[in-house]
Amino acid sequence: MMTGKEYIESLRELKPDVHFMGERITNVVDEPMFQPHINTAAMTYELANDPRYEEVMTATSHLTGEKINRFTHIHQSTDDLVKKVRMMRLLGQRTGTCFQRCVGLDALNAIYATSYDIDQKKGTEYHERFKNFLKHVQEKDLMSAGAMTDPRGDRSLRPNQQKNPNIYLRIHERNDEGIIVNGAKAHITGVINSHEIIVLPTRAMGEEDKDYALSFAVPVDTKGIKFVFARQTNDTRRLQSVLDAGNPKYAIVGGEAIIIFKDVFIPWQRVFMAGEYEFTGQFVETFAGHHRANYGGCKVGLADVVTGGAQWVADAHGVAGASHIIDKLTEMIAMAETCWSCSLACSYEGHKTPSGSYNINPMLANVTKLNITRMVYEWMRLAHDIAGGKIITLPAERDFNDPEVGETLAEYFEGKEGVDVKDILKMLRLVENMSVGAGLPEAMHGAGSPAAQKIMIARRSGIEKKREFAEIISGIRKDESFEKIVGKSEEEYWQETKEKIKSKRAIT
């Protein structure tokens, strides 16, 4: 397994074609705008080498028997599913942001299970190809970027109906050696500092969309691939001031980028789906379930940090003991632990797939993510309430260093005696970074927006069974268990009861 430093150095060997702010970036590792994202991903490597976190950060490969980073592991039990979300919370606590690597992990597990099912039905060789690729990922301890979302264009139209045929990533050509693809994948987390891109289909498709039903893996610096790195709230602050950045060591969110594929060749040994449209829905559901389960881990880890930051600010201003502050902090904690409980539940309720890997409980995973789309906003609102207006009106570090006004300015940002003003500024900026910045839209749309979760919840709600429960209890449907308890039919029971009541009334 690589250390954090070794991971960073491994990126120097790659030459991806990255564009940002109208320029081509030739050195990803040393670009100041990218370094915090790289540092964050490096933590997934560093903690795996720390004996204190070995149990959650590492696993044993079911393919080789070797010790591996858990981010390259195929879940072999519900215990693995639980350890995964424990790992997510730990990393959220240690970085205060998105650590990027979980998308690739979930893509690996989705392809493992689905490729097996495709082979069983179609007689293809995708699963063996994928296992060979997986061994490569595990042995090299590679970071994989899961790439599912397409730009999608007119979303009322299916992929084959779009005016621009490349608005969904598609197979442009097939030959004896492999496939050539054109199109794009959007909002892809951590991709510019990954080693591999793992592509999955973005939606369920029909036969007419079969050229869009594809999954494959490709190195990030493959010819024909370009990346355009996204803007994020206050991202350029880190170029102006360590203090103003809020979380200067680590990323704002996940370092998202759009990937443009132009006549990119993929050899057959790295293709895991090429036209099997019947399995696109399964691909999406399996990946989304795994990924939505994560959010009660990673976002709760972030909640731990922002709750601690809000309490620190209150304490620095002498109001930590106020009943309304304690009440708000308690609410933040309760909401976070509710989401954490959901992550644990969907993991403990996981099940074995035909491939031998384990999947989460999909209903509970979607409930987890739906709670995150609401509760993150609420606990961040409470953080704003506790921290006060300073988190959005704080002057720049340059003003505090200004010889004309800096010293006087600092006096007006003092808290209680004994607390360094600079520490107050640091903590206010951290709370701002976490609760005002790009993290909120990511909590909403990462792993799918609320409508996607509601569709899955409705689909798996078992509403007919719930109707049956109500019909049995209300007496519309026969209750066999009740009849066994009382030893007679419901009609006989109620008739006898009616006679007893009538007799009792007559006596009265």
Summary count for the chain: helices (H), strands (E): 20, 14
442 is catalytic: yes
C-alpha 123: how far from chain center:
33
31 is catalytic: no
- DSSP letter at 444 equals H
| CB neighbours of residue 324 within 10 Å | 11
Main-chain dihedrals φ then ψ at residue 415, nearest 5 degrees = -110, -140
Contact yes or no for 48/57 (Cβ under 8 A): yes
Q: Which position among 58, 95, 97, 102 bears the catalytic label? A: 102
Q: Which position among 40, 149, 189, 307 bears the catalytic label? A: 189
Main-chain dihedrals φ then ψ at residue 286, nearest 5 degrees = -65, -45
Q: Which position among 250, 295, 317, 397 bears the catalytic label? A: 295
41 token code pair: 């991903």
66 is catalytic: no
C-alpha triplet 30, 34, 37: angle, nearest 5°: 120
317 is catalytic: no
Q: Look at residues 290, 295, 299 and name the one whose alpha carbon lies nearest to residue 434.
A: 299
102 is catalytic: yes
Q: Which position among 116, 291, 317, 346 bears the catalytic label? A: 291
Q: Which position among 53, 98, 126, 168 bears the catalytic label? A: 98
Q: Which position among 44, 195, 298, 307 bears the catalytic label? A: 298
Q: Which position among 276, 285, 432, 442 bears the catalytic label? A: 442
C-alpha dist (Å) from residue 236 to 38, 189, 233, 368: 16, 19, 8, 33
Q: Helix, strand, coil % (nearest 5) of the chain?
A: 55, 15, 30
C-alpha 5: how far from chain center:
24
60 is catalytic: no
Contact yes or no for 132/277 (Cβ under 8 A): no
As a whole number of angstroms, the distance between CA 470 and CA 487 comes to 22
Q: Is 241 helix (H, G, I), strand (E, B) or coil?
A: coil
397 is catalytic: no
Kind of pairing between the strands at 144-147 and 67-69: unpaired
| CB neighbours of residue 112 within 10 Å | 21
54 is catalytic: no
Specify burial of residue 277 (Cβ count, 10 A radius: 0-12, 13-18, 19+). Answer: buried
C-alpha dist (Å) from residue 159 to 119, 173, 174, 448: 25, 17, 19, 19
77 token code pair: 């039990």
Q: Look at residues 146, 393, 492, 443 and name the one whose alpha carbon lies nearest to residue 286.
A: 146
Kind of pairing between the strands at 17-20 and 225-229: parallel
DSSP H helices in 96-125 = 102-122
DSSP H helices in 123-153 = 126-140
As a whole number of angstroms, the distance between CA 217 and CA 219 comes to 7
Say which residues have a Cβ less than 8 Å from residue 440's Cβ, sequence separation at least 6.
376, 377, 380
The count of residues in the chain is: 508
Q: Which position among 46, 196, 256, 285 bears the catalytic label? A: 256
| CB neighbours of residue 259 within 10 Å | 25
The catalytic residues are 98, 102, 189, 256, 291, 295, 298, 442
